[in-house]
Amino acid sequence: MSWLVLVISGLFEAVWATALGRSAGFTRLWPTVIFAVAIVISMGGLAYAMRELPTGSSYAIWVGIGATGAVVYGMLTGA
């Protein structure tokens, strides 16, 4: 279960990273709201997963999924 939560948290990391870029310094409402919700879910899921998984591995996988997701989004949208 912890692995599944970690993967989902990594996906939400990509969401908040993308929303952060689209928020224009927190001046646009909906990207800012999406950022805030996604970062809470992402960090909460990471914290939950790290209760059972090694810290270094959890963090590396979480960052890797998030970075990959953000790059793929940027490639697909030109952002």
Tens place of pLDDT per residue across the chain (79 aa): 999 999 999 999 999 999 999 999 999 999 999 999 999 999 999 999 999 999 999 999 999 999 999 999 999 998 7
* The predicted structure's pLDDT at residue 79: 79
* The predicted structure's pLDDT at residue 57: 96
* The predicted structure's pLDDT at residue 30: 97
Structure tokens at 36: 């805030």
Number of domains in the chain: 1
Burial of 68 (0-12, 13-18, 19+ CB in 10 A): middle
Query: HSE (CB half, 13 Å, CA atoms) of 78?
Result: 0
Query: HSE (CB half, 13 Å, CA atoms) of 33?
Result: 3
Structural domain that includes position 61: 2-77
Residues 12 and 45: beta-carbon distance below 8 Å: yes
* The predicted structure's pLDDT at residue 14: 97
* Single pTM value for the model: 0.89
